Structure 1
Amino acid sequence: MRHLTRLVFIVLTVLRFGLDEVALSAFRQPWVRLLVRVATVGRRLDAPRGVRLRRALERLGPIFVKFGQVLSTRRDLLPLDMADELALLQDRVPPFPAAESRVLVEKAFGRRIEEIFSSFDAEPVASASIAQVHFAVLKDGRQVAVKVLRPGMLDVIDDDLRLLHTLARWVERLSADGKRLKPREVVAEFDGYLHDELDLVREASNAAQLRRNMDGLNLVLVPEMVWELCTHSVIVMERMHGVPISQLERIREAGVDIKKLARDGVTIFFTQVFRDGFFHADMHPGNIQVSLDPRTFGRYIALDFGIVGTLTDNDKEYLAYNFIAFFRRDYKRVAELHIESGWVPPDTRVDALEGAIRAVCEPHFDRPLKDISLGQVLMRLFQTSRRFNVEIQPQLVLLQKTLLNIEGLGRQLDPDLDLWSTAKPFLERWMNEQIGWRGLLERLKNEAPRYAQLLPELPRLLHQSLQRGRTHGESPLLPALLAEQRRTNRLLQVLIYGAIGFVAGLLATRLALQLGWWV
C-alpha cells in the first residue's frame, strides 16, 4: 500500500506540474498532439516548462533531485531553458528553516552552538537535496563550513528505494532485457550509495582519503575535516574560498586558462579512476569551484564527498585495456575483451561484435567534443549491447554517471576539447607503469617484505605438513618427501644467500657511484 500511495503521489505530481505535456510535446504525430490538448483541459500551466520540471523534482524528493542534477549537465540533450532551471538543483534546493538547523547542530554535539563557534551564519550558503551548509568560525579563529543533514531524509529515501526495488523486480520478470540489464543489482548499488551519503562520517572519511590521494598532484584542493566535530548528522570542515565553476565569465576575467582547466579536469578524473580506483562520483558543477587565491590559482576545489566510486584492480585493468584499444581503434581487441571478461556469451562471433563496435565508435574519432553527442553514442551502444546480449555491470554504474558529468563539465569549459587525445597519453603511461617492467619492479618491491618473511618459514611449514600426514597415515611417500624436503632446504638456502648477496652488491655499487668511488 505504501508503494501504491507513493506511486499515486508521483502520478499526481506529474499531472499537477504538467510534466506529461512536457514529455509529449516532443512528438509531432497528430494523435499525440490531440492527446496533449485533451490532457491539459482544465489545468492552468502558466509557469514555464523548465520551472515546472524543477519544482516537480523538488517536490518528489532527493532521488528525483539527483536525477535532475545529472540532467542539468547535459545541455546537448535538453533545451536551454530546462537545463538552466535544473542547474538550480545543484546547490539551490529550498533550505529548511535556520532555527531547525541550529537545533540539529546542538543536538549532534550536545552543546549550545555558542560554546562551539564564535560565530555561526544562520543563513545557509548552499542547500542541496541531502544537506545544507552554513559558514562558521571556531573559537580558535579557524573559518569552517558546517554541513547539516536534512531531517527526515532516511524515511523519504527508503520509501522511494522500496518502490524502485519493486519496479526492478517487475522489469526483470517482464522485460526481455531484464536479465541482461540487471535492474535489481543496479538499484541495490544505488541503494548502497544513497545510504552511504546519509552518513556524514563516511563522507568525511571519503574526503580525507581523496585529500591524501590528490596530495602532490597540484591540480585539486580538498577541504580538511575537523574530526572532533564530525558526527553522523553534522560535520565540520575547512572553509574553501573559490568561485563556482558555473561562473565562467568571472573565472575567465580573473585570468584563469579555461582550456588548461578543461584538460586538468580530465587528468584529475583519470588519475582518480585508474591510479587510485577511488573517484569523486558526484561531480556536477554545484560541487566544483576554482581557486583564485594566488597560492593555489587555477586549481579545482572539490566539495561534497557523499558519493564516491571504487574500482578493483581487475576493473581498472579491464577498463584501461578497453580504453587503449578504443584509442588505437583496435575494435577486434575490444570485442575479444568483452568475450574474455564474460560480458557477452562465449559463443559470440568476434568479427560480428568487432564490426558493430566499429560502426558505433569510428564516426566520433578526431572530432572536438562540441561535435560529439554522447547521448547518441550511448544510444547506439545500447542497441549494440542488446543485439549481442551484453550484460550490464552494476559496479560500473557510478563510473558511467561520472563520465556523463565530466563530459558535461568539459563541454561547458572548452567545447573544442578533444577528450580522446587528452586521455590517451595518460592511459598509455598508466598502462606502462602497471603492466610493463616498471609495474613489475614496483609490485616486487611492495611484496618483498612478505616474501622475506615467508621464504625462511617454508621448510618448517612443509615439515609440519608432512608430520601431520604421517600421524594420520595419509602419506605413504613420506621418506621420499622428507628427502626432497632436505634438498629443497639446501636449495632455498642457496637462493636466499644468493639473493642477499646480489642485493648487497647492488647497494654497494649504488653507494660507490654516489660517493664518486667508481672510476
Structure 2
Amino acid sequence: MSQSLLSTDDVTGQRYDPEAIAQYYYRRPWIVIGRAISVAFLLGTFAIRLILDRWRDPQHKNKPKRATELRDILTQLGPTFIKVGQALSTRPDLIHPDFLDELIKLQDQLPPFDTKTAFAIIERELDRPVQEIYQDISPQPIAAASLGQVYRATLYSGEAVAVKVQRPHLLPVVTRDLFLMRWAAGWLAPWLPLNLGHDLSLIVDEFGGKLFEEIDYINEARNAERFATNFRDDPTVKVPDIYWRYTSHRVLTLEWINGFKLTDTESAKAAGIDPNEVIKIGVVSGLRQLLEFGFFHADPHPGNLFAMADGRMAYIDFGMMDQLEEETKETIAASIVHLINRDYYALAHDFNVLGFLTPDTDMTPIIPALERVLGNAIGESVGNFNFKTITDEFSALMYDYPFRVPAKFSLIIRSLVTQEGLALTLDPNFKIVEIAYPYVAQRLLKGESPAMRRRLLEVLFQDGKFHWARLENMLLIAQTDGQFDLLPTAQLGIQYLFSEEGQYLRNQILLALTENDRLHTEEVQRIWNLVKHEFEPNRLLHVAWNAFRDLSSEQVAAFVRPDSTQTPSAA
C-alpha cells in the first residue's frame, strides 16, 4: 500500500494489508495521536465504569446500562467502530451474552454528508458533470449509512437508478482506526472483558479484510453480478442491474428497485403481496446461497431486502459477501440433520471440521454440554426450533468452552438471525425449520454430488446399522412443503445403486432388510405408504427406463454380485 493511497480520498481497490498500514502510520504518528486520545478516553472511561461495577455491583445490575453505553460510544466513534459493533453482535465467542442483545440493536444510520460534496465526488470519479450523467437526481439523499449515502436519479436513456456515493475521506478514516485497533490488540487483550480464545489481532485482520472489500464499489458491483448469475433461473429473486459506465470505486449506479421494505407489512399487504410467500422466498434463497452456491449475502437487514409487487424479493447492497468451500457447505447440511436427529457426537465433530473447535480439543465435556444446551433450545419437536433461541443458548456455551466463531460463520450467523427476525416480524408464528429442514432433507435425498451422497449415508447409517426411522422421517419432512418431486430423486437413486459407488449401499440395504434374521417388511411398508402416491404407473415406467438405459452390463452385473468388502469411504 503506497503512501499516496492513505493520504488521498482515492480507493484503488487494493486488499487490506495490515503491515503496510502499520508502516505508514509509524512514520506519521501525528496523524493518529489525536484519534488515539479520543478513542482511549471514551473506551477507557467505559472500562473504568465496568471495573467499578465489579466492585460495587456483585449482582451485575448495571450491565444493561453499560451495554447501552457501549452501543452509544461505538456510534459516537464513527463508521469503523459502528461496523465493529455490528460484527461483535455476531461473536458470542468474544462478547459476554449480556452485551449481545444491545449490540444487535446497533444501527448504521448516520446524518448525511453535504450533497455538494457528494456531487463533487461523483464528478471526480466519473470525470464529467453530474448534469451530463443523470437527466435528474434528487437534491438530497434518500438514505444515509455509515459508509455512504444514496440518491435517486434518472439516466438520459430513461432508466430509474440508485446512485450510491461513498463518504469523503473514508479510506484514511478506516485505515487509521484499523491501525489503532490492531496496535491496541497487542497489549490490551488481557484486560478486555472478552473470551478471546485466540489472537485478537487475527480478529482485527478478519474484520479489516471484509471492511476493505465493502468500501470498494467495483467489488460490490462484481458481487451483484455474480449473485444475479447464481439466481438467473430463479423467478422469485430479483437483483438490480449494474450500470458500469457510471460506476467507479467510490460511486455505484444500479437499477432502482420499486418495492417495500420487508418490515413495511401494511404497504406490502395493501399491494397484494403475501408475506408468507416472501418469507419462504427469503429463507429458501438464503439456504441456496449457503448450501448450493456457497456465495452468500452477509448483510440481509431490512434496508437491503424488498418485496416487489410482482411477488419477487429483491436483494440490494452486495458489499458484504463471502464464499464457502464445498466441504463447508456439505458439513453445514450434515450438521443441521445431526442437530435435528440429536446426534451430538456427530455434531461435535462437525464443529471441529468447521473450525469452531481446534483439532486437539477434548470433546468429552463438550458433547453433554451440546446436548444440554441445544436439546433445550430445540424443545420437544422439530417445529419448536428457533434460530434466535439457539444463538442465545449457544452464546453461554461458547463463553464457557473453547469455542470460537470463524470469520465466515460470524457472517452466516448474522445473516440467519437477521432473516429469521424479519420473518418473525411478518409472521409471529414463523418457524424457520419448517422451511429450512425440508430443503436440507431434499438436498440430501437428491444426492447430487458424491460428497452429498456420503453425507446422506452418514445420516442413515450409524454404528454400521441402517436407521429406517431416519429415512422415514427425512422423507416425511421433505414432503412437507408440497413441492418435493420424489421421482427425479428415485431416478438418481437407482442410477447410484447400480454404480460402483453404490456398492456399499447395496450391501447395507440387503443387511438392513434381513437384520436380526427377519425381513423388515413393516418398515418397508411404512416407507412405501409415504411415497406410493407419487409413483403413477406411467411416470414410474419413464423413470425406470431413464435410470436403466445408461447402465452398462458391468454395472448390472455388479448389482447382482455385491462385494461385501466395500466401505463407506468409497461413497
CA distance in 2, matches of 1:372, 1:104: 41
**TM-score of the superposition, structure 1-length normalised?**
0.69
Instruction: Give the deviation of 1:333 after TM superposition.
Output: 1.3
Deviation sequence 1:251-276 (CA, Å, 0-9, x none):
23333222332232211111111110
One-letter identity of the residue aligned with 1:133: V
Whether 1:256 and 2:289 are equivalent positions in the alignment is no
- Matched residue, 2:443: 430
Aligned match of 1:364: 377
One-letter amino acid of the counterpart of residue 433, structure 1: E
**Structure 1 residues 20, 433: CA separation in 2 closer, same or farther (over 3 Å shift)?**
farther
Matched, 1:378 2:394: yes
Name the counterpart of 1:277.
Answer: 294
Q: What secondary structure does 2:186 align onto?
A: helix
- 1:327·1:420 contact (CA, 8 Å) conserved in 2? no
Going from structure 1 to structure 2, the CA distance change for 1:209 and 1:103 (only over 3 Å counts) comes to same
Gaps of 5+ in 2: 1-28, 92-96, 455-487, 493-548, 552-571
What amino acid maps onto 2:219 in structure 1?
R
> 2:448 aligns to what SS in structure 1?
helix
- Structure 2 equivalent of residue 416 of structure 1: 429
Q: Where does residue 39 of structure 2 map in the other structure?
A: 10
Shift, 1:206, TM fit:
0.4
Match of 2:151 in 1: 134
Question: Which shifted more, 25-34 or 117-126?
Answer: 25-34
The structure with the largest alpha-carbon Rg is 1
Tell me which amino acid in the other structure corresponds to 1:287.
N
Alpha-carbon RMSD:
4.5
What residue identity is the alignment partner of 1:321? A
Amino acid at match of 1:197: E
> CA offsets per residue over residues 436-455 of structure 1, 9 Å max, x none?
3999x99xxxxxxxxxxxxx
Instruction: Tell me what 1:115 maps to.
Output: 132
Q: Which residue in the other structure is 2:555 paired with?
A: none
Q: Which amino acid aligns with 1:168?
A: A
Give, in angstroms, the shift of residue 21 of structure 1.
8.2
For residues 244 and 202 of structure 1, what CA distance do their matches in structure 2 show? 25
Distance 1:35 1:5 in 2: 30
The alpha-carbon distance between structure 1 residues 19 and 303, as it changes in their structure 2 partners (threshold 3 A), is farther
1:102 maps to amino acid: F
Distance 1:281 1:182 in 2: 24
| Aligned residue among 200, 206, 209 for 1:183 | 200
- Equivalents in 2 of 1:141, 1:112: separation in Å? 18
Post-superposition CA distance 1:444-497 (Å, at most 9, x none): xxxxxxxxxxxxxxxxxxxxxxxxxxxxxxxxxxxxxxxxxxxxxxxxxxxxxx
1:106 aligns with one of 91, 110, 123: 123
Asked if 2 retains the 8 angstrom alpha-carbon contact of 1:325 and 1:331, the reply is: yes
Deviations 1:168-218, CA, capped at 9 Å, x for gaps: 334667899988444333321211110011111000000111111122222
CA contact (8 A) 2:387 2:417 kept: no
Q: Determine if the alignment matches structure 1 residue 164 to structure 2 residue 193.
A: no
Report 1:380-459 matches (<5 A): 380-383=396-399, 385-386=401-402, 390=403, 392-431=405-444, 432-434=447-449, 435-436=452-453
% identity of equivalent residues: 28
Q: 1:237 aligns with which of 229, 246, 254?
A: 254
Looking at structure 1, the residues matched to 392 and 256 of structure 2 have their Cα atoms a distance apart, in angstroms, of 40
Match of 1:302 in 2: 315
Q: Is the 8 A contact 2:366 2:401 kept in 1?
A: no
Cα deviation, residue 383, structure 1? 3.6
Deviation at 1:233, TM superposition (A): 1.0
Are the aligned partners of 1:93 and 1:127 in contact in 2 as well (CA < 8 Å)?
yes
Report deviation, 1:349. Answer: 5.7
Aligned residues of 2:126 and 2:246 also touching (Cα < 8 A): yes
Cα offset, 1:338, TM superposition = 4.0
CA contact (8 A) 1:223 1:238 kept: yes
Say how many residue pairs are matched: 425
